[in-house]
Amino acid sequence: MNKKIIKTENAPTPIGPYNQGVESHNIIYVSGQVAIDPTTGEMVGGDDVQAQTKQVMANIKAVLNKGGLTFNNVLKSSIFLKDLNDFDKVNEVYGNYFVSETAPARECVQVVRMPKDALVEISVVAVR
């Protein structure tokens, strides 16, 4: 199997048996990221879903960059929200990382609970 593990100190250390990113056949799969500050290991943003989303996107950017990619390489994203009423707030932040005409495919779903009681978690798939 052609598989390369992507690790960076600029994104949170995994809190389970998984890696920040995995590349295979020029496709990079970035694990779901929550608003953990990689320097402290603590959740940031409190009850502010936009502050959490900014940290999530910074974590994703760090993994992409370690793999030699940017948000322009993202083909697909998955957004998980604790409360779907936060959809517009998350979109406001998320939209700053993509150009509308070339934005990735995605889904957004509400879930009951996430690691560290996060308000938002996002994963992406990117291509070299």
10-68 pLDDT per residue, tens: 999 998 999 999 999 999 999 999 999 999 999 999 999 999 999 999 999 999 999 99
The position carrying tokens 């910074």 is 58
Spatial distance between the Cα atoms of 48 and 86, rounded to a whole number of angstroms:
10
Contact residues for 8 (Cβ-Cβ < 8 A; gap 6+): 20, 62, 63, 65, 66
Return the percentage of the chain with pLDDT > 70, whole number: 100
Whole-angstrom CA distances from 33 to 1, 30, 101, 121 are 25, 8, 25, 5
Contact residues for 56 (Cβ-Cβ < 8 A; gap 6+): 33, 34, 35, 120, 121, 122
The reported pTM is 0.97
Report how many domains make up the chain: 1
Spatial distance between the Cα atoms of 96 and 25, rounded to a whole number of angstroms:
28
Active site residue 70: no
Spatial distance between the Cα atoms of 99 and 9, rounded to a whole number of angstroms:
27
Asked whether the beta carbons of 8 and 20 are under 8 A apart, the reply is yes
The enclosing domain of 121 has a CATH number of: 3.30.1330.40
Domain containing residue 10: 4-127
Spatial distance between the Cα atoms of 1 and 63, rounded to a whole number of angstroms:
21
Q: What is the mean pLDDT of residues 71-83?
A: 98
User: Is 90 exceeded by the pLDDT of residue 82?
Assistant: yes
- Residue tagged active-site, from 108, 116, 123, 125: 108
The predicted pLDDT at position 1 comes to 78
The predicted pLDDT at position 106 comes to 97
